């Protein structure tokens, strides 16, 4: 999710195009890009409002990387200078010492003309941005950071299932993850209706797939489930109304609603979700499509804790040799 230099009023006023990640260095066990995996060296910067950042939050929790990869959380209300650390004392990230995420981008490339996006991983010793490649970041946490994984960590990207995971993840990205944005920021009717059709065509296919299986690929949670969850959990709160994806609510699709509740109630998923940050960001920052900045009081969130009965389909969240993550660190507990 990007802070646009032209200002937040531009959201919804010009044709939407998802920017490619500009900084695509990888942090790997071998350190081929110059960034070896080292516990404690890097800091993950996220907005809890952002679905792309939420992928990394979930993966980090499931894999038990909290002590190896520290966390900085930005204010959900960004301004035209980019994401701000105004949630921290004195408005500075306590580890990086910066007020705005763009300072880490500037340390990497002076005068970088693109947007300042989250998630971002920053090298703590130098204060330099390493990567903002949200598509690759979680895959590397699952496969390159294994020496720092907790005992009992799940395999979120099993080698034998990678082709299937990659295929379904690409479909989800185009039609669902990015599809809701294409609908929400459309500047003409045809553009909107095409994106709207993509969203619900794919959701119908996913609902049919999940009617007979607990998880998208295999018998346990994988990267594919994480990528779908972060859009579905935001659907009724922001995408249904704010982005005009209003054929039906998530709660009106019995399969997808049960599937998303199943994941939400799994440790590592729901305990990373901050509905207040989500609504504050979308409704207050996207002033081009919500000029009043009024934030809806709903929807009612009490249903997230209700039974889902998905265990009847078989499968287990983490596999026979894996265990759930423990509770979040006290500093990361969401009110």
User: Among all residues, which ones are annotated catalytic?
Assistant: 50, 181
User: Max alpha carbon distance in the chain (Å)?
Assistant: 55
- Residue 290 CA to residue 292 CA, distance in Å, equals 6
The helix, strand and coil proportions of the chain, stated in percent and rounded to the nearest 5, come to 40, 10, 50
Hey, which residues does 82 pair with through a beta bridge?
79
Helix residue ranges per DSSP H, 144-177: 162-172
**219 is written with which tokens?**
């018998």
Contact 216/228 with Cβ under 8 angstroms? yes
Q: Is 83 annotated as a binding residue?
A: yes
The angle at the Cα of 231, spanning 238 to 166, to the nearest 5 degrees, equals 160
* DSSP 8-state class, residue 28: B
How distant is the alpha carbon of residue 315 from its chain centre?
A: 24
**131 is written with which tokens?**
């990567």
The angle at the Cα of 146, spanning 141 to 148, to the nearest 5 degrees, equals 95
Hey, which residues does 36 pair with through a beta bridge?
28
Binding site membership: which residues? 83
Binding site membership for glutathione: which residues? 83
């Amino acid at each position: 999710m990007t802070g646009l230099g032209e200002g937040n009023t531009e959201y919804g006023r010009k044709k939407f195009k998802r920017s490619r990640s500009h900084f695509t260095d990888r942090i790997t066990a071998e350190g081929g890009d110059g960034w070896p995996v080292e516990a404690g060296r890097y800091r993950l910067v996220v907005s809890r409002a952002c679905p792309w950042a939420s992928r990394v939050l979930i993966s980090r929790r499931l894999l038990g990387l909290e002590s190896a990869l520290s966390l900085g959380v930005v204010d959900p209300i960004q301004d035209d200078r980019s994401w701000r650390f105004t949630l921290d004392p004195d408005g500075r990230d306590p580890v990086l010492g910066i007020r705005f995420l763009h300072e880490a981008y500037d340390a990497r490339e002076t005068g970088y003309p693109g947007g300042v996006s989250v998630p971002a991983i920053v090298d703590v010793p130098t204060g330099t941005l390493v990567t903002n490649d949200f598509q690759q970041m979680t895959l590397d946490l699952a496969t390159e950071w294994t020496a720092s994984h907790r005992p009992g960590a799940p395999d979120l990207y099993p080698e034998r299932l990678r082709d299937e995971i990659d295929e379904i993840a690409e479909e989800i990205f185009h039609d669902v993850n990015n599809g809701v944005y294409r609908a929400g920021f459309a500047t003409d009717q045809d553009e909107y209706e095409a994106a709207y059709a993509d969203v619900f065509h794919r959701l119908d296919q996913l609902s049919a797939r999940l009617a007979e299986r607990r998880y998208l690929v295999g018998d346990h949670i994988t990267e594919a489930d994480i990528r779908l969850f972060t859009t579905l959990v935001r659907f009724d709160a922001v995408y249904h109304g704010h982005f005009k994806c209003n054929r039906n609510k998530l709660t009106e699709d019995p399969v997808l609603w049960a599937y998303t509740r199943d994941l939400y109630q799994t440790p590592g998923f729901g305990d990373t979700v901050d509905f207040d940050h989500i609504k504050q960001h979308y409704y207050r920052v996207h002033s081009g499509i919500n000029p009043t900045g009024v934030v809806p009081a709903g929807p009612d969130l009490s249903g997230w804790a209700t039974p889902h009965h998905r265990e009847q389909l078989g499968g287990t969240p983490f596999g026979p040799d894996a265990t759930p993550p423990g509770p979040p660190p006290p500093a990361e507990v969401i009110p």
